[in-house]
Amino acid sequence: MTELATYELDGRIAWITIDDGKVNAFSIAMLRALHDALDRAERDQAVVVLRGREGCFSAGFDLKVFGSGNQDQVLEMLNLGATLAERVLAFQTPVVIAATGHAVAAGAFLLLAADLRIGVDGPFRIGLNEVQIGLTMPRFVIELARRRLQPPYFLRSVAGAEMHGPHEAVDAGFFDRVVAAEGLQEATLQEATRLSELNAAAYTATKLRASGETLEAVRAAIDSEFTAAGLSGSSAPV
């Protein structure tokens, strides 16, 4: 495990903390570390809590990779990020996100995929800004958004790149609740503990049944879109 993502197991709860010292950009190294952490949580059969550094959950994909012109690296980063969201959506144990601040673009992808999302109050931006910065929204994200966002906010968020404060992010569907920053740890622990006490087999079966159609659409979108041919089409994010 790299220092970009630390892993702490406390009973049946796996605390995964991401911290690159800046805005928690989803670089290739960060995404690999997150996949490794989920591998470990899977082996431990633990409820996952994914959290960021103070003030920032994640600002999304590493834009330096997009700007590098290296298509192999762009494809690797996109595939790692997309399959991370797919893994969270399909993860057999509950995944809780403790959003410690800003959650933008690919950071918000994970909010759309997770089972329970807790944000913190403050001057933070939550949402999908891809269109604002000239990127076409990936199809797999549209499928995640269609499942989680409230209808009045769907097009505004996906195509309109509207960003939200934490409380409006609850109304939109990015968060389930918002707490004061000093209460985030306690609120997250309470929710993760409650989820860990559910019947694990019944939870997994029900989650996969409830998410099945979205999961199928997400996987189909990833398979078709994040290839060299897919990036050369109209949906190319570079």
Each residue's pLDDT, cut to its tens digit, for the chain (238 residues) gives 458 999 999 999 999 999 999 999 999 999 999 999 999 999 999 999 999 999 999 999 999 998 898 999 999 999 999 999 999 999 999 999 999 999 999 999 999 999 999 999 999 999 999 999 999 999 999 999 999 999 999 999 999 999 999 999 999 999 999 999 999 999 999 999 999 999 999 999 999 999 999 999 999 999 998 775 555 544 444 3
Two structure tokens written together for 99: 């959003």
Cα 180 vs. chain centroid, distance in angstroms?
Answer: 21
Q: Whose CA is closest to 156, among 120, 185, 132?
A: 132
Residue 83: inside a domain, yes or no? yes
- Its sign, for the CA torsion 95, 101, 105, 107, is negative
Residue 112 domain boundaries: 5-183
Two structure tokens written together for 177: 């609740």
Ranges of H-type helices in 57-104: 63-68, 71-90
Kindly list the distances between the CA atom of residue 114 and the CA atoms of 75, 136, 181, 232, in Å, as whole numbers in the listed order.
23, 23, 20, 30
Q: Residues for the chain: how many in total?
A: 238
Residue 194: inside a domain, yes or no? no
pLDDT of residue 215: 97
Q: Domain containing 139 — which CATH number?
A: 3.90.226.10
Residue 207: inside a domain, yes or no? no
pLDDT of residue 69: 87
Residue 178: inside a domain, yes or no? yes
Q: How many domains does the chain have?
A: 1
**Residue 26 CB partners (closer than 8 Å, separation 6+):** 58, 60, 61, 62, 77, 80, 81, 106, 107
Residue 61: inside a domain, yes or no? yes
Amino acid (1-letter code) at residue 67: G
Residue 96: inside a domain, yes or no? yes
CB 98 within 8 A of CB 189: no
Residue 231: inside a domain, yes or no? no
Kindly list the distances between the CA atom of residue 67 and the CA atoms of 22, 59, 71, 99, 168, in Å, as whole numbers in the listed order.
19, 16, 10, 27, 32
Q: Residue 11, SS3?
A: coil
Residue 55: inside a domain, yes or no? yes
CA distance 146 to 115: 15
